[in-house]
Amino acid sequence: MPHTLLKPKLNGSNAFLEALGPLTRSLEKILENALEGRPLGDDEALELFHATGPGLNALACVADRVKRRRVGDTATFVINRNINFTNDCVVGCKFCGFFRSAQDEDVYHYTLEDIQQKTLEAKALGATEVCIQGGLPKSFDGFFYRDILRAVKQSAPEMHIHAFSPMEVLYGSQLTGMGFKGFLQMLKDEGLGSMPGTAAEVFDESVRALISKNKLPLELWAEIVKTAHRLGIPTTSTIMYGHIESPQDIVAHMRAIKDIQKETGGITEFVPLGFIYPNTKLHAEGKVKSGPSGLLDLKVHAIARLYFQGMIDHIQASWVKIGPKLAQVLLLAGADDFGGTLMEEHIAKAAGGTEREYLQPDTFVALIRELGLTPIQRSTIYKPIKVYQKAGA
Ligand code: SF4
């Protein structure tokens, strides 16, 4: 939807937009609304996906301005460790390069002792969070999810446990016969602090039919997430973009997340996850030739900032998916969070990701300071733990 009707001269009512160059009337109106604190409507978000030239520059600048208004001249990170406890999985998502079958040579399963050991290593490095997710093995005891929580709490009672996607919760609830509400309550009672809002990918059913047809349907995903919120378990929210989805699909996905947030208020952040393609079936079958462009990365983060303003204050630039350099730049285009140190990362690496598995806190601090922002180490739920001085302070 390219814009052809250029306004000859902006009316000067908004000096900020005026300074950003000639914009179409339509784009100017959308960005003015955003600057006045109104979240984007679906059509407005869609229009911004077609921004180019000065319009694109204005989108990034307005997203940065709104970000600063919502969270200040800061950027955050969390010291955490990923623990992907098994790659044994029967689901077979075509976008996933991580899963193995039980017969594969390189299938692995961590024991509870392995998980405790990794938790203690993370604690020694200053981690406040362990992020635990895994595949869905065919032969599995659904109470293993509970036992993981017990094992972590036994070794490090103060560690925040951010664990188990809605897909894993569904699987555990089916294996134990508890129903997902009872299963979630049990997990909360055993120390689950929050949940990753993963396993959503892109909500459009025709997209999901191609990339992850065995995943749980959107309605069930939303029910599990809303139930978690009602039980006092916050979640993140995510989207996996840059494969076969369209801008319409991205906006519809964000709409679904916005609706959940309006109902429960339990979402802590939105995490766009750029698709990593090399070792995936989607790529092998020729359905996807590459991942997202830097341009799409920028648009998704900046538009998300404007779309969710007033509802979700934190937009994460996931360095392990898009690289620390681009993630750094996106902190000036609507994102306000770098994600975590991770310490180990199997999922992106198995899909062909080339980023490191560990970024040290000092690296985050340096990257944030370069931007003239104040670095803040945060908790999982965005409580400040350590506020650093910004450069030159
Ligand atoms: S994304 Fe998760 S559920 Fe899907 S195949 Fe990979 S490990 Fe299994």
pLDDT at 68: 97
For range 294-305, the mean pLDDT = 98
For range 117-136, the mean pLDDT = 97
Question: What ligand 1 atom has the least distance to the C-alpha of 95?
Answer: 1
Using the mean position of ligand 1's atoms as its centre, give its distance from the Cα of residue 295 in Å: 27
167 lines ligand 1 (CB under 6 A): yes
Using the mean position of ligand 1's atoms as its centre, give its distance from the Cα of residue 89 in Å: 6
Question: What ligand 1 atom has the least distance to the C-alpha of 98?
Answer: 6
3-state SS string for the chain:
CCCCCECCCCCCCCHHHHCCCCCEHHHHHHHHHHHCCCCCCHHHHHHHCCCCHHHHHHHHHHHHHHHHHHHCCEEEEECEEEEECECECCCCCCCCCCCECCCCCCCCECCHHHHHHHHHHHHHCCCCEEEEECCCCCCCCCCHHHHHHHHHHHHCCCCEEEECCHHHHHHHHHHHCCCHHHHHHHHHHCCEEEECCCCCCCCCHHHHHHHCCCCCCHHHHHHHHHHHHHCCCCEEEEEEECCCCCHHHHHHHHHHHHHHHHHHCCEEEEEEEECCCCCCHHHHCCCCCCCCCHHHHHHHHHHHHHHCCCCCCCEECCHHHHCHHHHHHHCCCCCCEEEECCCCCCHHHHCCCCCCCCCCHHHHHHHHHHCCCEEEEECCCCCEEEECCCCCC
Decide which of 172 and 342 is more confident: 172
Does residue 150 carry a pLDDT above 60? yes
Does residue 4 carry a pLDDT above 70? no
Q: How confident is the model at residue 301 (pLDDT cuts 50, 70, 90)?
A: very high
- Each residue of 257-282: pLDDT tens digit? 999 999 999 999 999 999 999 999 99
Can you give the pTM of this predicted structure? 0.94
For range 118-127, the mean pLDDT = 96
Does residue 103 carry a pLDDT above 50? yes
- Each residue of 60-85: pLDDT tens digit? 999 999 999 999 999 999 999 999 99
Using the mean position of ligand 1's atoms as its centre, give its distance from the Cα of residue 92 in Å: 6
Write down the mean pLDDT value for the chain. 93
The pick from 82, 98, 210 for probing ligand 1's pocket by mutation, whose C-beta has the most ligand atoms within 8 angstroms, reads: 98
Q: How confident is the model at residue 248 (pLDDT cuts 50, 70, 90)?
A: very high
Does residue 12 carry a pLDDT above 50? no
96 lines ligand 1 (CB under 6 A): yes
